[in-house]
Amino acid sequence: MKKRIVRIKDIAEKAQTSKGTVDRVLHNRGRVADDVRERILGIIKELNYEPNFIAQSLKSQRTFNLAALIPDPALDSYWAAPKTGLEKAEKELRQYGVYITPFIFNSHDDKSFIEKAKEVTEEKPDGLLIAPIFYKEALPFFKEWAEMGIPYVLFNTQIEHVNPLCYIGQDSYRSGSLAAKILHFGLQTPGSILIAHVNEDISNSAHLITKEEGFRDYFNTGTGTGFSIISQEIHFPDHEPIDEEFDKIAAANPDLKAVYVTNSKAFQVAEYLEKRKLTNIKLVGYDLIEPNLHYLNNEIISFLINQNPLGQGYWGIHQLANHLVFKKEIPPIKFLPLDIITRENLDYYLNPE
């Protein structure tokens, strides 16, 4: 049977009252006698009434100005996908009055983040999507935005002890554990495994610390005994080869069997392995950016874990719209799948839709 649409008029007739009284009960405004309120609420439950927030938003013609505080894709190509995702969401939601202002910061400069976060505060948006890659610098702003009543959605980096509307992204701990399991299956004999944090300030990157914890715990459970896990921050100028830094690591660890790169920079390690003809070292990293795809197709990168950055930007905006426009209850966490990408299944993941 076709489900009947329940209108405010139907509730008013059944409650023997006016549509205005029902509207006041629905929106919890104005004075309504207690017995009338209880009667209306009972009928709402009985008829399973669901407000049509889409129609209401179109009728009200209200606009919702959202801010997106994200790193500059021109400086790190990983961030192009989240930007594309949020732009795709904006196109879909424009008819409901949703508009997005991007605030772009330098992912290698905490002062740039602070400057743009201050601009967001001055803008007083209705909601905010943020990639909080600078953990320490972001904390005071979370407090300020909460006091201002600005709901914010975190993506890419999950942070404890703050109260976002929602987190969108992967489970970092399980992501690290998955990377460990993938590498373990590919190793025939024990040796050293390197956790490589490439051009990252690990002390200020909560999600990378959690990834490393998940990776280490896998090998500490007894499943991967016999392997020595080492962790290294590798810093070098952008667009410069990693050779000098990695030569030191290789010399200090002649039994190096595998490398786990915790961010999107696996291609820089792959370039080194190719140059040194080190075909016996397994390499796992993240993200389907062009230089990583080159080395995955050439099987120098063994596996990539797809973090679905486009989906992070897309769903982040939709969660804000669901809360602000459509008045839906938002789950505090939306974990995205952990996709293992190989040369054989890569083509299925290259469609941006």
Domains of the chain: 8-51 (1.10.260.40), 62-169+309-337 (3.40.50.2300), 172-306 (3.40.50.2300)
State the pTM of this model: 0.79
Query: Contact at 8 Å (CB) between 26 and 8?
Result: yes
* Amino acid found at 278: L
For the chain, the maximum distance between any two Cα atoms, rounded to a whole number of angstroms, is 85
Helix, strand and coil in the chain, % to nearest 5: 45, 20, 35
Question: 199 near 235, Cβ under 8 Å?
Answer: yes
Per the CB < 8 A criterion, the answer to whether 58 and 95 are in contact is yes
Angle at 271 between CA 343 and CA 74, to 5 degrees: 85
Q: How many CB atoms lie under 10 A from the CB of residue 146?
A: 14
The structure tokens listed for 159 are: 């942070």
Residue 286: DSSP 8-state: E
> What is the model's pLDDT at position 45?
83
In order along its 353 residues, the chain shows pLDDT tens digits of 345 567 788 888 888 888 888 888 877 777 888 888 888 888 888 888 776 655 555 555 678 999 999 999 999 999 999 999 999 999 999 988 899 999 999 998 999 999 999 999 999 999 999 999 998 999 999 999 999 999 999 999 888 889 999 999 999 999 999 999 999 998 988 899 999 999 888 888 888 999 999 999 999 886 667 899 999 999 877 667 789 889 999 999 999 999 999 999 999 999 999 999 999 999 999 999 999 999 999 999 999 999 999 999 999 999 999 999 988 899 999 999 999 999 999 998 986 45
